Chains A and B, each alone.
Chain A
Amino acid sequence: MKKPQIAADTRPWRDVDAKPFVRIANVTKTFGDVYAVDDVSLDIYKGELFCLLGGSGSGKSTLLRMLAGFETITSGTIEIDGQDMANVPPYERPVNMMFQSYALFPHMSVENNIAYGLKREGLPKGEIADRVAELLKLTRLENFKARKPHQLSGGQRQRVALARALAKRPKLLLLDEPLGALDKKLREDTQYELVKIQETLGVTFVVVTHDQEEAMSLATRIGVMTDGKIAQIGEPQEIYEFPNSRFVAGFVGSVNMFEGTVTEDEDDHIRIASQEAGCDIYVGHGVDCAPEQILWYAVRPEKMVLSRERPEGDANITHGFVQDVAYLGDMSVFRILLDSGKRVHVTQTNSSRYDPDAISWDEKVYISWASDAGAVLTS
């Protein structure tokens, strides 16, 4: 029988004694008076696939470029494998990068692109040939080795860029929007391939992306960035189900947010009066807050239930009017106007192929959710 894995084996960030592989401490980067990265501290562990998620201008790419050595650090330190990187130029770092534009050398064949780093390292010819052959096989490019980059499709170029970045067997691989230039279908396939390669080789990956779905499916942990700061670091599920702020809740996935005032503050539950929701919100666990405090309750569309009859209970039940139903195949998205004037989204899985009695537009419905369905946010 397979031995059950202990969480600390696969999730070193949960182990307080684990030594981080990349240690980013109080790093700040300014361009003029603009703070591109503002006092960021972050530990990344060996074998992780860490995603930096953020919109454009959030500082995620600048942070990545500082890891690669293309940008100098204004203040703070970056350590990789215990070594301070302050005075190490890019060409001496144990780090390789896969560029968003792929940056394949247009005047070199696929083979020579992949071999470039190995040649700079001064490896013997035979070994370079072996290593290149191995990578061509890994990325399924054997038949294209003599081609020039402009003779390849987007997906093939992406694989060449990956093979080239992996060639030197870096301890840390940085990927800048690795799937950004691919179309949706190819992107999904490549996503799994990337994870497979990462697991096979055991290389630590740091991926920059603006695509939250990509981050969720790739990452062991996600760092959500905004305005040069890290808003939250956590496993994908943590980020999605337990966001720490309204920004994170809204940035990752879609969410319904209700503003309210605390009316009951007990150790095992709190109650929030929310005019926006049009009902009381009952939270089945204690929250660090004070009575009369204004806070926000965030609940995901799929955690809400629609019904024509009013369910039992005195809280977490509100009423509205279906304005619109978007049928997406696997699920349907209901846009509902609450009596309070607030608009919410509710999704329902389409578990049967045809339901003549399904809730449709222009209907009045009750919306309810469980006492542990949402997150209480104070910022």
Chain B
Amino acid sequence: MALFQSRRSRHGFELDQPNMTPMMNLMVVLIPLLLTSAEFVRLGVIELNLPPAAAGPEGKELAGLPVETFQKLDLSVTITDQGFFISSALAVLRDHAGGPTLSLQNGRYPFAELSETLYEVKQKAEGQYPDTEQIVLLAEPEVDYQTIVSTMDASRMFRKNGELIILFPEVSLSAGIL
């Protein structure tokens, strides 16, 4: 019996590189395609709510009940060049000197403090008034758009100790000028 080495061991053991070229073709096409359609800045939209007065007749479910039970909160935030004034149908919150509720801090609007204050208001008003979801923003003529958008953000919801707290999600703008 002739002894000879297996013929198999001599073939097929050098590592063959798989043919990458078709894969490369695919990548070269796919990557530019995805790059052109990628959005690097994400856009969003803020929904504006009409002021409650314009949002239709407040007739039906309110009819037949005494007026006092529908005392509304009518919460509003006024943005001025001194800071924020928070006011309701009943009163305007002011600091001790009669200035704004929250004054500017080093020329910047105190958005975090605004959220905190509104959170307090929300906790007190919850369940006592029918409109604890709405808030109206007023601004002085020269207040810029970014400040208004940031104020809307601050009054819509905020994060406290990592927890998301909804404040007054229905934000509307008012044309009235202080």
Q: Is B truly associated with A?
A: no
